[in-house]
A = this chain, B = another copy of it.
Amino acid sequence: MSVSSGSGERLFAILDLFTEDRLEWTPQEIMAELGYTRPTLYRYLRTLKDAGFLTSLPGRGFTLGPRVVELDFLVRRSDPVVEIGRDQVDALANRYPCSSLLVRYYGKKLLCVHSACSIPDPRSSYPRGRPMPLARGAISRAILANLPRRQQKPIITEALEDFAEIGIGSTVEDVLDSLRAIRRRGYSIAHGEVTPGVVGIAAPVFDSGRLPIAALCVTIEATALEAQGLSEATVAENVREAAAEISFELAELQHDPTETIDQNPAEAGETA
């Protein structure tokens, strides 16, 4: 809420410039974009470079640096959802000609944390680290449907047009009803919401407190399903079971005091 300045935040603002669309920035461009003074900017850049978050390309400016890579390795290690889910993701990819994703729910974001792919040229590609929209697709709904009402409402209200377009419901109450059904069924299905012709089938992963913290998802071409004589429901059952298995193993970890684990890094709740 607070627009607090703080030189730390000004540092991170530099990192925020680097996006999928723009992976290189020169000091010039950064100055223009953020309005920092020259000496200040260079000081920031030096700090970031010394810390390894940026590296300078000979004549072309800066890119993200190796420290990021190192830290991601540590994140993979510290996240039991990844540790445990990996096998299930890979198994699903082996069973069906699909890409299979494990997507984590962080506060207001969905982030793919592991994926596997068993088809040559996947049309929808979500490798680790790519963020996803919170209001579209099977994954989104698998999570949303299992959130406490308190948290559902603001999200639904905000993205009502999206839901209407998809056919989930045109009023908040309608959407809530649809989500209730999804919750009871244990999985959600989306037809071509993200990529045309591709079916997404997702099921929620719970922490030991029964809160949804992730979703397991298989995306498969509609034509491939047909070709293999598979029904969506069959696949969905498999996904649901695999997700349940992850939840189960997570809960076990929780109870076993010999292992260190984290649980639900999602933000508590925000006054939307």
User: With an 8 A cutoff between CB atoms, is A178 at the interface?
Assistant: no
A262 touches B8 (CB 8 A): no
B265 touches A56 (CB 8 A): yes
User: Could you say which of B15, B72, B263 contacts A129, with CB atoms under 8 Å apart?
Assistant: B72
Copies in the complex: 2
> Known: A7-B7, A109-B66. Contact between A15 and B71, CB under 8 A?
yes
B23 touches A65 (CB 8 A): no
Residue of B nearest to A264 (CB): B58
B128 touches A69 (CB 8 A): yes
CB proximity to B under 8 Å, residues A219-272: 260, 262-265
B-chain residues with CB within 8 Å of residue A11 when the two chains form the complex: 8, 11
Interface residues of A, dominant DSSP: mixed
Total interface residues in chain A, CB < 8 Å: 56
User: Bound complex: CA of A262 vs CA of B24, how far in Å?
Assistant: 8
User: With an 8 A cutoff between CB atoms, is A113 at the interface?
Assistant: yes
A47 touches B129 (CB 8 A): no
A262 touches B60 (CB 8 A): yes
B263 touches A58 (CB 8 A): yes
User: With an 8 A cutoff between CB atoms, is A164 at the interface?
Assistant: no
User: Could you say which of B55, B57, B260, B264 contacts A23, with CB atoms under 8 Å apart?
Assistant: B260
Task: Name 17 extra pairs, CB < 8 A, besides A68-B68, A71-B72, A73-B130.
Answer: A8-B11, A15-B71, A18-B71, A18-B74, A23-B78, A24-B78, A57-B265, A63-B78, A64-B71, A64-B74, A66-B104, A68-B72, A69-B129, A70-B131, A71-B129, A72-B128, A76-B127
**Chain A residues in the interface with B (C-beta under 8 A):** 6-9, 11-12, 15, 18-20, 23-24, 43-44, 47-48, 50-53, 55-58, 60, 63-66, 68-79, 104, 106, 109, 111, 113, 127-131, 260, 262-265
